[in-house]
Structure 1
Amino acid sequence: MTQCAQLDQLVAACHWIGERGWAPATGGNMSLRQDEQTCLLSTSGKDKGSLTPDDFIQVEIATHRVPSGRKPSAETGLHTLIYRLFPDAGAVLHTHTVNSTVLSRVEQGAALVLQGYEMQKTLSGQHSHLDRVAIALFDNDQDIDALARRIERFAAAQPLRYGFLLRGHGLTCWGKDVNEARRHLEGLEFLFQCELQRRLLEKL
């Protein structure tokens, strides 16, 4: 698939995310790997539901440098971190949904563990509802470089798969391409909604 076609897929995914209210106001950011050295990242301060291909900015993965001088997302360092940590990652989606934001505050552990849901199989490599899927949780930080270092240290010690949650912030997930990242996002959001409702019902 050509890079132009991949970018078109990412724009379509952004519109799909916007229609669901998963990146309200100008929240969220999305990106696409171009090659080993660069990625295309959504510009800052725009509604993700109305992005066009021109709203994606080339960023150097190793340095965060933007050759064009345009302003990318404030969370550029998280996208470039994922591309450095996972050579197979081809696209990253960061959203601000109610389910992920609330669960990230309710769950006090280092990970949100999902188990017993058939829809776990929407995640690549998952084959049974009996498996445990742990989505890592990190405290939010306005210092993105410091946050990226914490995530990198975590990933060096234990597996970091599919995505991670930032407390009170939202979900960042990825895949080998736009379609897989989009499937992981949709699957995780369904699982988050189920888990949140399960916890609420247990308190009745």
Structure 2
Amino acid sequence: MVEDKKELLCRIAGLLFQKGLVSGKDGNISIKTGEDEMLITPSGICKGFLTPDMIIRQRFDGTIIEGSLKSTREAGMHSRLYELRPDIGAVVHTHPAAATAFAVCGRKFPENWLLEVPALIGKIGIAGFAPAGSAELVAEVEKVADSDVIFLQNHGVITYGPDIYEAFSRMDAVENTAKTILYSQILGDVREF
């Protein structure tokens, strides 16, 4: 069961990389596997090249159960979301260019431009700036954990869902929506509904 989830995590990481939703060595992805346990991607490895033996199995307090690589410094952020939201089964955190541009500017998507925003993406929360991997960042994420998507100020995006498929699909939808909004602004004359 855990081995299957490691393979799934690698497959989703590869899709994120292929679609340009994660680049270089950035981002981190996790799947909750128990009340106090998750599988999470390691630090410093390109998501397009992950293999199941690289995946870290760890407790929410950071204790490594299995894995020889270094865990991501963002593991605390994933753990805290699982603790606050029992409905979450997987978390995706990446820095997709268009959506991250909104996060850099501290802006949410307009809710009356695209049907996808209220229907597929849902409520967007903006977490204030804090250094990556810091307790301050976890505290900022806590403030908006009731959202469906979190924009991290000057950092990136977090999506989640009951499973990794939903978390991935939401990240894909967020980036596509961000691009569509930016293209619409270039064209001008946006028609609101």
Aligned equivalent of 2:143: 153
Aligned equivalent of 2:180: 194
The structural deviation recorded for 1:11 is 1.1
The structural deviation recorded for 1:70 is 4.3
Which of 147, 150, 160 in structure 2 is aligned with 1:164?
150
Q: What's the secondary structure of 2:58's corresponding residue?
A: strand
Aligned equivalent of 1:135: 124
- Which structure 1 residue ranges, 5 or more long, are not aligned? 124-132
The structural deviation recorded for 1:149 is 1.4
Q: What's the secondary structure of 1:34's corresponding residue?
A: strand
The structural deviation recorded for 1:122 is 3.3
Aligned residues of 2:30 and 2:40 also touching (Cα < 8 A): yes
- Indicate the RMSD between aligned Cα atoms, in angstroms: 2.1
Aligned equivalent of 1:127: none
Residue by residue, what CA displacement relative to the aligned partner does 1:67-91 show, whole Å, maximum 9, x if unpaired?
4574211111111111111112111
Aligned residues of 2:150 and 2:158 also touching (Cα < 8 A): yes
How many aligned residue pairs are there?
A: 186
Aligned equivalent of 1:185: 171
Aligned equivalent of 2:113: 116
The residue correspondences of 1:1-12 to structure 2 (distance < 5 A) are 2-12=1-11
Q: Which amino acid aligns with 1:171?
A: V
Aligned residues of 1:103 and 1:196 also touching (Cα < 8 A): no
| Closer, same or farther: CA 60–115 of 1 in aligned 2, 3 Å | farther
Q: What's the secondary structure of 1:160's corresponding residue?
A: coil
| Closer, same or farther: CA 60–113 of 1 in aligned 2, 3 Å | farther
Aligned equivalent of 1:78: 77
Q: Which amino acid aligns with 2:180?
A: C
The residue correspondences of 1:42-57 to structure 2 (distance < 5 A) are 42-57=41-56
| Closer, same or farther: CA 107–199 of 1 in aligned 2, 3 Å | farther
1:58 aligns with 2:57: yes
The structural deviation recorded for 1:59 is 1.8
| Closer, same or farther: CA 56–10 of 1 in aligned 2, 3 Å | same
Residue by residue, what CA displacement relative to the aligned partner does 1:130-188 show, whole Å, maximum 9, x if unpaired?
xxx43111233215211111222344xxx322x20112221111111111111111111
- Which structure 2 residue ranges, 5 or more long, are not aligned? none
Aligned equivalent of 2:134: 144
Q: Between the two proteins, what is the percent identity of the paired residues?
A: 24
Aligned residues of 1:113 and 1:135 also touching (Cα < 8 A): no
